[in-house]
Amino acid sequence: MATVQDIEIRDSAARAAQAAEELQDVQGDKMVLNMGPSHPATHGVLRIVLELDGEIITKADPDVGYLHRGDEKIAENMTYTQFIPYTDRLDYLAPLANNVAYALAVEKLLGIEKDLPPRCQYIRVMCAELARISAHLLGLGAFAMDLGAVTVFLLTFTEREKIYNLAEAASGARFTTSYTRIGGLMRDLPPTWLDQCRKFCDEFIPALNEVEVLLTRNRIWVDRVRGLAVISKSDAIDYGLSGPNLRGSGVEWDLRKKQPYLCYPDLDFDIPVGAVGDCYDRYLVRMEEMRQSVRILRQCIEKIPGGAENRTKEPVNVADGKVVLPPKQKVLTKMEELIHQFMLVTEGMNCPPGEIYFGHENPKGELGFYIHSKGGGTPYRMKIRSPSFVNLSIIPKIFPGCLISDTVAILGSLDFVMGECDR
């Protein structure tokens, strides 16, 4: 027999159900829409499950993992040097910067990060800044094309082609460079490389000015991106954002300044930050970052020890023979060097036991490598902190309330690469 309390509970549940039904009649049915993982504007195999009320997004869930390759597990079965080509495939728009980040992490484990020759440090910085410009140019070109500005895409890709020429001259490869080595570089720069880089800097700034003329005060562009997907300072910090997405929200955090490495302390450059944290601010921050990268490149060209032709024979590898392969000529003529090279290639360098983390200011944000070593030539565990993966975590926060047509603009402003997101 039902008690008075049971009757009251049933009546309360019935009233709640009736209220929910009335609210459903007012709001209408919501629709679930899959955007991706094969949509061109998702910039890779990203799937976003959108819940829509008409054309208004009420909920957005990013679904990642369609490109998962198990890089971190692969690293456990390779020597530290053998894993370098795999870093090219993380943010494949900035392979030179990925190489530098990984090499610095292993060098920190070895305790030789302060032993890098000055010329090596300057070359690595130039590689990282060229990678920053290249990645931002593709992000900007794709962002603009998603919103209908095809001319910008053609301009940015023209400049990226020049950076690929520089990468090819230095490493022999245009896309997957694998230029950096643990303890130094694959080889020194060609004699004319610095002149080519200087020429690129001279030609790039006018091209960037032309892009700004096309976009920065363009009525259509400004209306599409200003005030859209605002990320506050507190939200940017809470969600762990880094790179231009963090600085676009007004947080002045750049690892090149806050936790300096290589020769960055000797260089003069500014950290651009936004004021509002919307898509427009993130665009402006990347534009200014490219100008600052050119500023850094010019300083490196003037200050690099040895100059263009390295007449003073400045080394580009550490002197420690336990890390870097012996010179080719000695390998071909002396048995000790031949055995030494054989041991390094087959067994890898002998890293001490320990745990380290190194964060590098990559174009997309903080690319971090956590390495757990138990000694020997291979890591026991490796964890890669990919900025694209972390930056995508903000999607459920900023998408609700926006229109379907706004999704491509927001994704373009976040500028992510699924290769490093899924690893």
Please report the DSSP string for 37-79 in residue order: SS-GGGTSS-EEEEEEETTEEEEEEEE--TT---HHHHHTTS-
Q: Is residue 98 part of a domain?
A: yes
Domain assignment present for 106: yes
The total number of structural domains in the chain stands at 1
> How far apart are alpha carbons 102 and 94 in whole angstroms?
13
Q: Is the pLDDT of residue 1 over 60?
A: no
DSSP string, 196-229: HHHHHHHHHHHHHHHHHHHHTT-HHHHHHHTTSS
Q: What mean pLDDT value characterizes the chain?
A: 89
Query: 14 lies in a domain?
Result: no
Confidence class for position 22, pLDDT limits 50, 70, 90: low
Q: Where are the alpha helices (DSSP H) in 76-192?
A: 84-88, 95-110, 118-146, 150-171
Q: Decide: helix, strand or coil at residue 416.
A: coil
Domain range for 277 is 71-403
In a domain, 57, yes or no: no
| Contact status, residue 72 vs residue 411, Cβ threshold 8 Å | no
420 in a structural domain: no
The verdict on residue 64 lying in a domain is no
In this prediction the pTM is: 0.88
Tell me whether residue 422 is in a domain: no
Give the model confidence (pLDDT) of 197-218 as tens digits.
Answer: 999 999 999 999 999 999 999 9
Q: How much is the average pLDDT of 274-291?
A: 94
pLDDT digits (tens, 9 = 90+) for 378-409: 899 999 999 999 999 999 999 999 999 899 99
Per-residue pLDDT, 30:
85
Q: What does the alpha-carbon distance between residue 84 and residue 106 come to, in Å, rounded to a whole number?
A: 11
- CATH classification of the domain holding 382: 1.10.645.10
Share of the chain above pLDDT 70, in %: 93
State the DSSP code for 376: B
Cα 188–189–194 angle (5° rounding)?
Answer: 150
Q: Residue 170 has what pLDDT?
A: 93
Nearest CA to 241 out of 250, 74, 94 is that of 250
Residue pLDDT, tens place only, 311-346: 888 888 888 666 777 777 888 888 888 887 887 777
* Element spanning 420, H or E: helix 418-422
Residues ≥6 apart with Cβ < 8 Å to 254:
247, 271, 361
DSSP-based three-state secondary structure for 383: strand
Q: Which tens digits make up the pLDDT trace of 149-177?
A: 899 999 999 999 999 999 999 998 998 99
pLDDT value of residue 361: 95
The rounded distance, in Å, linking the Cα atoms of 106 and 80 is 8
Cα–Cα nearest to 356, from 378, 323, 379, 322: 379
Q: pLDDT value at position 309? A: 86
- Model pLDDT, residue 197: 95
- Is 421 inside any structural domain? no
Residue located via tokens 């910039």: 43
**Pair 92, 130: CB distance under 8 Å:** no
Per residue in 25-51, pLDDT tens? 555 588 898 987 888 878 888 999 999
Between 113 and 345, the higher pLDDT residue:
113
The stretch 266-274 carries a mean pLDDT of 94
Judge whether residue 20 has pLDDT over 70: no
